[in-house]
Chain A
Amino acid sequence: DVKVTQSSRYLVKRTGEKVFLECVQDMDHENMFWYRQDPGLGLRLIYFSYDVKMKEKGDIPEGYSVSREKKERFSLILESASTNQTSMYLCASSSPGQGGSYEQYFGPGTRLTVT
Chain B
Amino acid sequence: EDKVVQSPLSLVVHEGDTVTLNCSYEVTNFRSLLWYKQEKKAPTFLFMLTSSGIEKKSGRLSSILDKKELFSILNITATQTGDSAIYLCAPWGDSSYKLIFGSGTRLLVRP
Contacts and interface: CB of A to CB of B under 8 A. Distances in A.
Interface of A: 4, 31, 33, 35, 40-45, 48, 50, 56, 58, 90, 94, 96, 99, 101-109
Interface residues of B, number: 22
Contacts of B9: 40
Contact of A102 (B4, B41, B44, B92): B92
B43 interface: yes
Interface of B: 4, 9, 32, 34, 41-45, 48, 50, 88, 90, 92, 96-99, 101-104
Given A42-B88, A43-B88, A102 B101 contact: no
Contacts of A33: 97
The 3 closest A-B pairs by CB, nearest first: A42-B103, A106-B42, A43-B101
A102 B97 contact: yes
A31 B97 contact: yes
A94, A96, A102, A107: residue with the most chain B Cβ atoms closer than 10 Å = A102
B43 A42 contact: no
A58 B98 contact: yes
A40 B42 contact: no
A53 B32 CA distance: 28
B98 A103 contact: no
Nearest to A104: B99
